[in-house]
Every structure is written in structure tokens, then in C-alpha cells.
């Protein structure tokens, strides 16, 4: 059993602790956080240690790290903290839910957080420091580079290339053989049919409320009674 330290004391850190506790061979032994953000010395019954002192108490030769950090600053915050952990000499673990659908020879880097109900088809390659929230489809031969965040119910079709730091909102859909440029922000519900330029922003179609009609609740309740 490997002993690991989780970065952060956020909801995401709580989730990571929960998933590691219930669905992994790893044992979480401590949390770490930048000193200026520490308000309590304990989180979920474990010690909270300042990040700049962590390697003295929990040396990288004996402990690994997991940094579950959000998409803030287009994933650059997560990238920065991951690189700092690497500079300290830590190897980072990845969590892949036992409830995700995967196949042998899955190619996933370090510090990835892959939730339940992701379908990851054969020949997919996922880099380091990526988050795949629940329920995405990642089509065969797609390559996801480092520091990417995929929220939920996103369809990335086969043979796509997803460059570093891209973000995908819920229910986005990507056509097969598409390259999503570095730092692209794909909004919820967007349908991407062409390659995207670096740091571009995409939104989906808006729903429009019908101004001429609404549901006649009296007639519905009358019918169900009858």
C-alpha cells in the first residue's frame, strides 16, 4: 500500500480523500497546503502540513502526492502546483475509478483524477495532471495532453488531439479527428466541428423561451384527476 499526501483542504480534496479511501490501494496519511491558507491543523482526521515544509516530514522517497486542483486560471494553477511537487521530487499518483470503463494497456500519466462512468476506449492516451469528471466518452485513438479539465457528459470522438490546458464544459461535443488548441475554453453544450485556435472560447446554442405559450397546468391537473 502506497502512502500519499493530498494537496488542499477544499471540497475537491475531500472528494479525493473519499475516493482513495473507498476505491484505491493507497493510504492517505496527510494533507498539505500553502502556509498562508492553513487555518486548521487537521482535516478529515489527518494532519495538515505546510507545503514548503512537507518534504522534511514526509520525504518523497517514502511518500507520493496527489494534487486535486480545480480549473482555476484555465488549469494553470493546477499546472503550477503539480510542477512544484515534481521539483520537490515527489512522484504523483493517479486515481482511476473502478466504476470507469477502461481497457488493458490504458495509457494515463501522473496526477490524473478520473471519476466514475468515464468510458475510455482502446488506444486513448491521457497525459499528466488531467481531470475527467464523471460520465465522459473519450473515443478511440484520442490523445489528451497535460493539464486538461473535462467536466461531465462530454463527448470527445475518436482520433482527436486535445492540447494542454483545454477546458470542456458539461455536455460539450467534439467531432472526430479534431484538434483542440492549447488553452481552448469549450463552453457547456458547444458542438465543435473544426480545429480550434489556442486560447479561443466557444459557446453552444442558447435555449429560447417561447413567449407565445406556456404549459396550461389547470388543464393538465384536470385531465389527471379524470
Whole-number Cα distances in Å, 80 to 36, 70, 73, 77, 165:
17, 12, 11, 5, 12
Q: How far is the CB of 51 from ligand COA (least distance, A)?
A: 25
Whole-number Cα distances in Å, 49 to 5, 9, 30, 36, 39:
10, 11, 7, 11, 11
- CA dist 10 and 7 (Å) reads 9
Helix or strand (DSSP H, E) at 3: strand 3-7
Q: How far is the CB of 26 from ligand COA (least distance, A)?
A: 25
Helix count and strand count (H, E) for the chain: 4, 22
Q: How far is the CB of 209 from ligand COA (least distance, A)?
A: 12
If we measure between CA atoms, which residue out of 180, 167, 178, 101 comes closest to residue 134?
Answer: 101
Q: How far is the CB of 151 from ligand COA (least distance, A)?
A: 4
Q: For ligand COA, which is the closer residue by CB, 68 or 169?
A: 169
Q: For ligand COA, which is the closer residue by CB, 32 or 178?
A: 178
Q: Which three cell numbers stand for residue 191?
A: 458542438
Q: How far is the CB of 187 from ligand COA (least distance, A)?
A: 3
Angle ∠(185,149,90) on CA atoms, nearest 5: 135
- CA dist 175 and 167 (Å) reads 16
What is the full DSSP assignment across 162-185? E-TT-EE-TT-EE-TT-EE-TT-E
Q: What is the largest CA-CA distance in the chain?
A: 74
Q: For ligand COA, which is the closer residue by CB, 148 or 185?
A: 185
Binding site for ligand COA (CB under 6 A): 151, 169-170, 185, 187-190, 203-204, 206
Q: For ligand COA, which is the closer residue by CB, 26 or 137?
A: 137
Q: For ligand COA, which is the closer residue by CB, 60 or 189?
A: 189
Q: For ligand COA, which is the closer residue by CB, 139 or 169?
A: 169
Q: How far is the CB of 50 from ligand COA (least distance, A)?
A: 29
Amino acid at each position: 500500500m502506497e502512502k500519499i499526501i493530498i494537496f488542499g483542504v477544499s471540497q475537491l480534496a475531500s472528494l479525493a480523500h473519499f475516493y482513495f479511501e473507498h476505491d484505491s490501494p493507497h493510504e492517505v496519511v496527510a494533507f498539505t497546503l500553502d502556509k498562508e491558507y492553513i487555518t486548521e491543523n487537521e482535516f478529515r482526521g489527518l494532519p495538515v502540513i505546510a507545503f514548503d515544509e512537507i518534504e522534511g516530514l514526509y520525504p518523497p522517497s517514502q511518500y507520493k502526492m496527489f494534487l486535486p486542483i480545480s480549473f482555476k486560471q484555465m488549469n494553470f494553477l493546477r499546472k503550477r502546483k503539480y510542477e512544484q511537487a515534481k521539483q520537490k521530487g515527489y512522484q504523483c499518483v493517479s486515481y482511476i475509478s473502478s466504476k470507469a470503463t477502461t481497457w488493458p494497456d490504458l495509457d494515463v500519466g501522473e496526477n490524473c483524477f478520473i471519476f466514475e462512468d468515464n468510458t475510455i476506449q482502446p488506444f486513448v492516451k491521457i497525459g499528466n495532471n488531467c481531470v475527467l469528471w464523471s460520465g465522459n466518452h473519450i473515443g478511440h485513438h484520442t490523445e489528451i495532453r497535460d493539464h486538461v479539465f473535462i467536466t461531465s457528459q462530454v463527448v470527445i470522438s475518436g482520433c482527436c488531439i486535445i492540447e494542454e490546458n483545454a477546458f470542456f464544459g458539461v455536455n460539450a461535443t467534439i467531432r472526430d479527428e479534431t484538434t483542440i488548441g492549447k488553452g481552448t475554453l469549450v463552453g457547456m453544450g458547444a458542438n465543435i466541428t473544426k480545429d480550434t485556435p489556442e486560447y479561443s472560447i466557444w459557446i453552444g446554442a442558447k435555449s429560447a423561451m417561447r413567449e407565445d405559450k406556456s404549459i396550461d397546468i389547470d388543464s393538465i391537473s384536470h385531465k389527471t384527476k379524470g
